[in-house]
Structure 1
Amino acid sequence: MVYAIFTFIALGIAGGYFFLGLEHKDLLDEILMSALYFMVFVAGIEIGGNRHIIKKICNPQSILLAVAIPTAVTIGSLGGAALSAFVTGMEMRDALLVGSALGWYSLSSVVISTLYSVEIGTIAFLANMLREVLAFLAIPLLVKINKFLALAPSGAATMDSGLPVVIKYTNIHVGLFAFINGLLLTLLVPVLLSVLMPGQ
């Protein structure tokens, strides 16, 4: 599956470079969102069809795990961003701002570019998009250590584009935690952006 993903990414880059221009962006965005909605719909059917999994998660231990996972992902993301500031010489606040996107590149890049800096917004887009792409490579490896590690690389994307990949390499039980993880991180991103945005 990973090879297929990267093959189609390469084909897409080639197609975009040789045949499409910026005037096609709206059409491509619509096609992308339609495909994403379909993937999430199918994953939702698979989760909903396993009623015993939903019942299994409704206990104190599972609820604690559902909160602990996005907490750990957030701490890891911001910690990694802070470390990158030392390595690259980037301003600490700017690095944390990029890391606070938690993988949600479409929102963070627009918000940061509009309210703060186009340069930092571009870095946020590239860094978080790369995070999502690398997650496709990391997930098959991480599940060999622990299935729940599959929830970390995609960040907020575990509720949408990362969900089918997580389910493929783990199971529906982990997939349900992936959806909850992505949902909580998605709700947290605007809060982190507003707190870390300079001048806010």
Structure 2
Amino acid sequence: MLGGIAFLNDLTRELVAFVLIPLVIRRHAALAIGYGGATAMDFTLPVIQQHGGVACVPIAVVSGFLLSLLSPPLILFLLSL
């Protein structure tokens, strides 16, 4: 049950990112990359590159890498509170 809910949550978040990134990236590139979250370096990267240009790619890759790296320690920290 929880696995299905987590899957739908992730799928919905990715679909929302695919819709919001093209709408927001012209005015606020960093905010649009942030919508992609950890997937900015892989799954949403083509959308970021297509609508934001090649200049946004290094920022998206670094952002996605850092979020992927920091997620496990942050989750453990927040659960310990």
Give your verdict on TM over 0.5.
yes
Q: How high is the TM-score relative to the length of structure 2?
A: 0.82
Secondary structure at 1:161 match in 2: coil
Residue of structure 2 aligned with 1:155, choices 34, 37, 57: 37
What is the CA RMSD across the aligned residues, in angstroms?
Answer: 2.1
TM superposition score normalised by structure 1:
0.37
Equivalent in the alignment of 2:17 = 135
Secondary structure of 2:70's partner? helix
Q: Which runs of 5+ in 2 are unaligned?
A: none
- How many residues are aligned here? 81
CA deviation after TM superposition for structure 1 residue 134, in Å: 1.1
Q: Deviation per CA, 1:85-141, whole angstroms, max 9, x where unpaired?
A: xxxxxxxxxxxxxxxxxxxxxxxxxxxxxxxxx63x544332232111111110110
The one-letter amino acid paired with 1:125 is F
Contact 2:33 2:48 in 1 (8 A): yes
Quote the offset at 1:192 in angstroms: 2.0
- Relative to its length, the structure with more helix (as a share) is 2
Name the structure 2 match of 1:183: 65
Q: Distance in 2 between matches of 1:163 and 1:125?
A: 20
Rounded Cα–Cα distance in structure 1 between residues aligned with 2:17 and 2:61: 15
User: How many angstroms apart in 2 are the aligned matches of 1:125 and 1:145?
Assistant: 31
Determine helix, strand or coil for the equivalent of 1:154.
Answer: helix
Q: Which amino acid aligns with 2:20?
A: A
- What is residue 171 of structure 1 aligned with on the other side? 53
Give the secondary structure class of the aligned counterpart of 2:35.
coil
Structure with greater Cα Rg: 1
The alignment-based identity, stated in percent, is 38
| 1:147 alignment partner AA | A
Contact conserved, 2:26 with 2:52, CA < 8 A, in 1?
no
Distance in 2 between residues matched to 1:180 and 1:145, nearest whole Å: 20
Partner SS state of residue 174, structure 1: helix
